Amino acid sequence: MIGAPSSSVIDSPIDAFYATTQDILNVANPDFLQQHPSMGTLLLVGLISASENYFRDLFARIIRICPIALDLFI
């Protein structure tokens, strides 16, 4: 499934980002995009969404780990 990480155990936000983008890019081959021209835009939206999820996960972990960042948000 596109958008879900390939492996069942993801340790870090960057691992989840790489897994998701790899899944999206595997679908985006020239033959598929030629048969379904509108899918290119949707795959781009998927890549943008994966980037947003990466930063959301990263900032959430920073807030949990760093006492200074935690103080800023509480």
Domain that holds residue 55: 13-39+47-73
User: Which of 4-8, 9-13, 31-35, 68-72 tops mean pLDDT?
Assistant: 31-35
Residue 26 lies in a domain: yes
Domain assignment of residue 4, yes or no = no
Query: Given a cut of 70, is residue 10 above it in pLDDT?
Result: no
**Separation CA 14–CA 60 (nearest Å):** 13
pLDDT for the residue numbered 43: 96
Q: Could you tell me if residue 62 is inside a domain?
A: yes
pLDDT digits (tens, 9 = 90+) for 33-74: 999 999 999 999 999 999 999 999 999 999 889 888 888 877
Which residues have a Cβ under 8 Å from the Cβ of 3 and sit 6 or more positions away? 20, 23, 24, 46, 49, 50
Token look-up 């390939």 returns: 6
How many structural domains comprise the chain?
1
Q: From CA 36, how far away is CA 14, in angstroms rounded?
A: 30
